[in-house]
A and B are shown apart, each in its own frame.
Chain A
């Protein structure tokens, strides 16, 4: 019976995957790609397809692709994807090959998410088993979080829009997922590669090094180590084999070595492709420098563009520091509280980055919403989930309307659009805060199940 259920589940999973791919292909064959590639929600200055094409054009006419302030991406991406921006097949849509690459990147990401999710689920079950909680919690009700996460990632309208809108975020997301997958399945060179590429492409995934270290050091998500000790103290049988392994430095040194190797490799490749122009310094200035200084003030779904358009020049540097430090400030407290759940920590970091980054796009939201699927079991009793769902739907419907009113019709003003961006930021804040509190509550619930109700509280 169980097997049959599983079979049906996996069958419908593949059905959904194929359906989402077909849906993407249908959208690609629409005329002019529905103009998605120039939507502010999809293409930020960093991920825009048109800017990539411009960078490639400049490179082809023997100029530095960073000449002018059009292209701010990686030179490697330009060498790999650039030729696809100009290649045309007779009778086919203009950027078919490029779109196919995005579709493939999406499918690969989904598969990696699925594998990682299964890995996480097994680890979670193992944790419950060693805590002897299997009887108390009905394991059969456990959802296949890997399948769910992969389907969320594939069928999310945000992912579809980012993929069909020809932005480079599917590839950036794939690098992040590759890094997490490698760390979960202890493929250290792969994890290091994913981390280096993700950092190279969009800087913010650099902070994922902390979850990756936890993942490599003590394995994937499990209930807190303290619980195991308490459990064994209660039973007074200290079974070492059932305890999760402690923190080991070996894989981390291994990871550091590989990360160093890959980053040298990437920098050498970049150096070669930029040799006759400004060199690496120019690349850092117009990629990382551009991200950190928020030079482009074109509207996007974040709040920083309007803030820096309005703020007085005198305070600009101060607020640049404040907003970027806001990301860094939260790293340590989160790492302390969630160190036993490195994958969840990675999800929270990704969500925070996509909320506070300089040029956010729906592609970033697609990534963390996809990763959210890994934790369906832990987040089962999260508060406000309906409110959040409705909020996401509402914002993604209202935001294009407000943008249209402001930019195209001229009947609204910038505040209309900014309000939706503000609401979106608040929704993401609620999601992160409630998510973190739900996971902490989940751990608390496990502890209560082990130790029983704290009896002293009644006094």
Chain B
């Protein structure tokens, strides 16, 4: 009986549980109405001119306003929503990057590079919705929480000497933004795993399945980001909840075996690739929780033109071959900046399943060469000078092919100007002399006031705050090169302030060069389905063009780390030498004087013991003489003694007499 009954009870239990779950889910959906938790997964592939491939993963989860459903979430990661609620974050971005974005060959003027090219190491910025005096405390707590969440040493950003508050030259956010970077942070798979945990399907299904660690970290550039936007507690009234964008940008070198097979003689041909050859995996269907789940292939603006592709023949192109048929093809709206347009091929992952996994390959037939659209000026930064005492930082701006085009377009009016914002943070041990700022335009020194329109400086305080420099440059459009130099002294630290590998040097975070008059956006021809894709709608936003410069490694002088005890003892010895010898000199008497004094003292006190010893000898030897000798030889002191004895005796007699 018992054996028969048990399965029934189990089934019943399971059934009710499932029913309950469904009911709860249904109820919650009803309550929220249109605002549901959504998740989207997208992958964008883009061939780069230097035989590499860019893969950009974009996962977006949006949570409804926290007030409507308390702290319950279905898709949205709870850790993030708690973070937002606790620290009242308006906007936040955290990026872990390895490698350096190559602005010259990978472009800098498209939404992809201006928002996803990040400086090496960790970069974190946040805008808090708290009063000004609470920002520091919120920031400290946030850094500690994030370092716990992402297994990284973000907590080093806690100290006031590491973060700064740019006022107007940090384009992604304005006003009250707190910005900090850790250029020397090593980024690895231990940071990726917690990041993947925030995805509803983790890396078990959907596009995230492609995130194969060995192939990711083999790449030339790797940047994983987390962008949070919350309007939950804003006063504007529009309440869209929290939007969490997780992006991962990698630049990989496709294995060129296939290309070698086909065109062994052709060296200039782009390598052919497929998803399985790059990542070693294929996409076996979408993550069931993801609403749009699609893969895009973007051919850059320059590429179709170089390829002979026009709007007519992009369905059947002669120069390359796709292994899968695209579901849709979008053409970019014509923009003012360039003549050629980029083409976007879209593949929907929904159609594929485990038996028929999704794999896309691109096989080039003819060699093509093109150039990515570059930033108006190419920025690089380097150190000048030698030795460990002082040096100078130079930021050089070089015109690119873009500026030439821009110049020719604006050549009609002569007074055309190019505005460049520079934001530079230096750690406190790089002691910058702001008065030594020099500007060179086309290698000619120019007066600072001619070129610099606006400057804001907050000088560094030792161990307290970093130095921040924000500069607005107004350069003539015909400029070929421009350079900013600023001198600094290298600081000297205490031995316990050096990092473990002190002789390696210290990193100066990247400077941010932005061009506020230029906005990168990629608007594709109007289509309803586009609005659904968060990735493409992000491309359509106008984002300011900005680029990061290189991280500088400044070698600092080191003291001898093995010497503390020696230094302490030697220095203290010298001080003791000073103190002792000076005191000695002050109270010393010269030899003659000393002898004189000794003799004088001997006259006074030294005779008594001498006499006593003589006396004892005499007492032993002859017993007759001593009777006379003591009173006769008793000197002044002896008579004193007698007097004392008499005095004491008299006192005793008086005492006796008085009390009796």
Contacts and interface: CB of A to CB of B under 8 A. Distances in A.
A264 interface: no
B563 A441 contact: no
Interface residues of A, number: 62
A308 interface: yes
Nearest to A70: B459
Given A410-B388, A413-B558, A414-B563, 14 more contacts: A58-B459, A295-B462, A311-B567, A326-B579, A337-B586, A408-B388, A422-B570, A425-B578, A426-B574, A440-B585, A441-B590, A454-B596, A456-B599, A456-B600
B600 A313 contact: no
A415 B459 contact: no
A414 B557 contact: yes
A54 B433 contact: yes
B386 interface: yes
Interface of B: 386-390, 428, 431, 433-436, 455, 457-462, 464, 467, 489, 491-496, 557-560, 563-564, 567-568, 570-571, 574-575, 577-579, 581-583, 585-588, 590, 592-593, 595-596, 599-600
Interface stretch (A1-9, A135-143, A218-226, A430-438): A430-438
Contact of B563 (A310, A334, A429, A457): A310
Contacts, number: 159
Interface stretch (A153-161, A247-255, A298-306): A298-306
A308 B567 CA distance: 9
Contacts of B428: 69
B574 A429 contact: yes
Chain A binding surface SS class: helix
Interface string A416-459: 00100010011001001100110011001000000001101101
B435 A425 contact: no
Interface string A280-314: 00000000000000011111000101111111110
A326 B575 contact: yes
B460 A457 contact: no
B435 A330 contact: no
Given A295-B462, A422-B574, A308 B494 contact: yes
A68 B586 CA distance: 45
29 contacts: A40-B389, A57-B434, A58-B434, A63-B457, A68-B461, A69-B464, A70-B433, A297-B492, A299-B492, A306-B559, A306-B571, A307-B568, A310-B563, A312-B496, A333-B582, A333-B586, A333-B587, A408-B389, A413-B558, A414-B563, A415-B560, A425-B574, A429-B574, A433-B582, A440-B585, A441-B590, A444-B593, A454-B593, A457-B595
A186 interface: no
A429 B389 CA distance: 29
Given A50-B433, A298-B491, A414-B558, A454 B578 contact: no
A217 B387 CA distance: 54
Contacts of B460: 68-69
A306 to B, nearest CB: 6
A286 B577 CA distance: 32
B560 A436 contact: no
Given A58-B459, A68-B461, A310-B568, A330 B579 contact: yes
A53 B459 contact: no
A359 interface: no
Contacts of A407: 387-389, 557
Nearest to A71: B459
Nearest to A409: B387
Contacts of B455: 61
Interface in A39-60: 40, 50, 53-54, 56-58
A323 B575 contact: yes
A134 interface: no
A436 B585 contact: yes
Given A444-B590, A454-B596, A330 B559 contact: no
A321 B286 CA distance: 70
A245 to B, nearest CB: 26
A119 interface: no
